[in-house]
Amino acid sequence: MFSLVPDRIENSFTQVKPDELEKNGIRLVLADLDNTLARYHQPDPDEGLKGWRDQLEQKGIALFVVSNSRRPQRAQRFCTELGIPYIGHAAKPHAEAFREAMNQCGCRPEETLMIGDQIFTDILGAHNAGIRAIYIRAIALDSAFRKIRYGIEAPFRALCRLRGDRI
We report the CATH number of the domain holding residue 56 as 3.40.50.1000
The answer to whether residues 114 and 30 touch, using CB atoms and an 8 Å cutoff, is yes
Domain-located, residue 91: yes
Domain-located, residue 88: yes
- Residue 122, C-beta contacts closer than 8 angstroms, at least 6 positions apart: 32, 36, 92, 93, 114, 115, 116, 133, 135
Domain-located, residue 3: no
Q: Please give the pLDDT value at position 112.
A: 98
- pTM of structure: 0.94
Q: Please give the pLDDT value at position 98.
A: 98
> Which value, in Å, is the radius of gyration of the alpha carbons in the chain?
14
Taking the C-alpha atoms of residue 104 and residue 99, their distance in angstroms, rounded to an integer, is 9
Find the distance separating the first CA and the last CA of the chain, reported in whole Å.
16
Name the domain count of the chain: 1
Domain-located, residue 92: yes
Q: Please give the pLDDT value at position 167.
A: 65
Sequence-ordered strand ranges (E) for 12-129: 28-31, 62-66, 86-87, 112-116
Domain-located, residue 113: yes
- pLDDT in single tens digits along all 167 residues of the chain: 679 999 999 999 999 999 999 999 999 999 999 999 999 889 999 999 999 999 999 999 999 999 998 887 999 999 999 999 999 999 999 999 999 999 999 999 999 999 999 999 999 999 999 999 999 999 988 888 888 988 899 999 998 988 877 76
Domain that includes residue 88, residue range: 8-163
Taking the C-alpha atoms of residue 61 and residue 76, their distance in angstroms, rounded to an integer, is 21
Sequence-ordered strand ranges (E) for the chain: 8-10, 28-31, 62-66, 86-87, 112-116, 132-136
Domain-located, residue 2: no
Q: Please give the pLDDT value at position 149.
A: 84
Domain-located, residue 19: yes
